[in-house]
Amino acid sequence: MTEMSVAVAGFGWMGRVHAQAYLRLRQSYPELPAIRLVCVADDVPGRGVEAAEQFGFDSCTQDWRNIAADPAIDAVSITAPNFLHREMGVALAEAGKHIWIEKPVGLSTEDAKAVAVGVDAAGVQAAVGFNYRNAPAVALAKNLITSGELGTITFTVPISQ
Ligand SMILES: NC(=O)c1ccc[n+]([C@@H]2O[C@H](COP(=O)([O-])OP(=O)(O)OC[C@H]3O[C@@H](n4cnc5c(N)ncnc54)[C@H](O)[C@@H]3O)[C@@H](O)[C@H]2O)c1
């Protein structure tokens, strides 16, 4: 694969962040295929047009379902509000799109599980937008833990704290 075609669904704060990340991806990972920004979807009139002009998307739409229907799109960032994650995540996975979906996935554990089930059934890849997953210090900590170098971890801070 020499080029990967991506779309962004929901162009608010995180939609911009994802678009910026795609544009500079190869600065950190030069071995990856080039990213082509194919389509941006936002239901607010004009927002997609602005995004396309500013970030270089080939096209824009007010209906994210057009992204699901486009066979040229490989992967989609789901950066719309949480109440849309379940519907978008399941439909886009079913359409064969790999998804990078923002946290939290949906409004409930059931929503998140439904997206996971849809992703598994479709055999696509999915990632949740945890910002620090690939930060070098976090990766090192993970390696120290999984290699056993730190011994048995006996205490972790609950996520809600
Ligand atoms: N990873 C992080 O650190 C982080 C930080 C902030 C937000 N988030 C998550 O990112 C997601 C988006 O948050 P945000 O702060 O960017 O919100 P936002 O309100 O700035 O952006 C959401 C965008 O989705 C659009 N939208 C709404 N309905 C739509 C529809 N039917 N079709 C297409 N677009 C639609 C809105 O018009 C808006 O432009 C949320 O899930 C949020 O929890 C993650």
Weakest-pLDDT range from 62-66, 86-90, 95-99, 155-159: 155-159
DSSP symbols for the chain:
--EEEEEEE--SHHHHHHHHHHHHHHHH-TTSPEEEEEEEE-SSTTHHHHHHHHH--SEEES-THHHHH-TT--EEEE-S-GGGHHHHHHHHHHTT-EEEEPSS-SSSHHHHHHHHHHHHHHT--EEE--TTTT-HHHHHHHHHHHTTTT--------TT-
- Dihedral over Cα of 130, 114, 146, 151: its sign: positive
Does residue 7 fall inside a structural domain?
Answer: yes
Which tens digits make up the pLDDT trace of 58-89? 999 999 999 999 999 999 999 999 999 999 99
Does residue 48 fall inside a structural domain?
Answer: yes
pLDDT band for position 155 (cuts 50, 70, 90): confident
**Which amino acid is residue 140, in one-letter code?**
L
Does residue 75 fall inside a structural domain?
Answer: yes
Does residue 150 fall inside a structural domain?
Answer: no
> Which atom of ligand 1 is least distant from the CA of 14?
16
Instruction: Give the domain range for residue 45.
Output: 3-131
- pTM value is 0.92
CA of 28 to the centre of ligand 1 (A): 25
Q: Is the CB of 103 under 6 A from ligand 1?
A: yes
Which tens digits make up the pLDDT trace of 42-53? 999 999 999 999
Query: What is the count of structural domains for the chain?
Result: 1
Does residue 55 fall inside a structural domain?
Answer: yes
CATH number at residue 83: 3.40.50.720
Does residue 152 fall inside a structural domain?
Answer: no
Distance CA 76, CA 18 (A): 10
pLDDT at residue 161 is higher than 60? no
Does residue 159 fall inside a structural domain?
Answer: no
Q: Is the CB of 13 under 6 A from ligand 1?
A: yes
**Pair 149, 157: CB distance under 8 Å:** no
Does residue 34 fall inside a structural domain?
Answer: yes
Token pair in block for residue 50: 């602005």
**Pair 105, 128: CB distance under 8 Å:** yes
Q: Is the CB of 61 under 6 A from ligand 1?
A: no
Q: Is the CB of 129 under 6 A from ligand 1?
A: yes
